[in-house]
Amino acid sequence: MSVENPLWGAPRIHGELLKLGFEVAQSSVAKYMVKRRGPPSQGWRIFLRNHAPEISAMDLFVVPTIGFDLLYAFVVVRLDRRKLVWINVTATPTAEWIARQITEAFPWDEAPRYLIRDRDRIYGSVVTRQLRAMGIRDKPTAPASPWQNGFAERLIGSIRRECLEHVIVLGEVHLRRILREYARYYNDIRTHRSLNKDAPIARQIQRTGSIKSHAILGGLHHHYARA
């Protein structure tokens, strides 16, 4: 008999065995149990896996322009389908600005239960009050633990590798237009290994018709579809 639940201890397993008609002492169960190698409670990764449909993550990243000015891009991503639900740009990020972006990202009936963020001081009381008003539980990551916001970090890495490293940003309006075009490509067209080679907004399989190529971001990417 194999017991695969890592949260069960000897008393719980002993109780199950008794109900299955096995007369055995609890001490014997404890003696032959496989020793637990990790903590008894769920870790961060298990929390993410169990609650992914109810979790989103947000983050800021810096983008330099041709004139060596610094712009700040803000992203929000849903964990279950990796959907990029919001992206915007500002030259002067503030807590008030971020609070407005969260409101725009989530209509009141679509807010997630949890929102992961890092411990940047820009997420002040204005942001946390807005989250509470929307019924969202704020989940800051541990200090110096960027992996705990891995979904947002991976998204930002994709944006840099697949878009920003290949263009020269002229200014705030230009960057906003580029990022929003990439967001449409990311959500509607780009396939993800974690989604079984599907896009965040599921793509239908096309089996008939001639294949046409549509350039995206000036030919940096292409969308192949049947006409």
CATH of the domain at 173: 3.30.420.10
Smallest Cα–Cα separation from 59: which of 168, 128, 151? 151
Percent of the chain with pLDDT over 90: 65
Q: At what angle do helices 95-105 and 125-133 cross, to 10 degrees?
A: 20
| pLDDT reading at 39 higher than 70 | no
Do 91 and 20 lie in a common domain? no
Do 29 and 118 lie in a common domain? no
Residue for token pair 């409670």: 41
Q: What domain range is 67 assigned to? A: 46-195
CA angle 197, 203, 208 (to 5 degrees): 105
172: in domain: yes
Alpha-carbon gap, residue 139 to 224, rounded angstroms: 39
222: in domain: no
Average pLDDT, the chain: 89
Do 72 and 184 lie in a common domain? yes
| pLDDT reading at 133 higher than 90 | yes
Read off the pLDDT of each residue in 62-70 and give the average, rounded to a whole number. 97
Query: What's the confidence (pLDDT) of residue 22?
Result: 87
Q: How do residues 159-181 score in pLDDT, each as one tens digit?
A: 999 999 999 999 999 999 999 99
Model pTM score: 0.79
Do 183 and 177 meet the contact criterion of CB atoms below 8 Å apart?
no
Q: How many domains does the chain have?
A: 2
Query: What's the confidence (pLDDT) of residue 52?
Result: 86
Alpha-carbon gap, residue 186 to 201, rounded angstroms: 9
Query: What's the confidence (pLDDT) of residue 116?
Result: 95
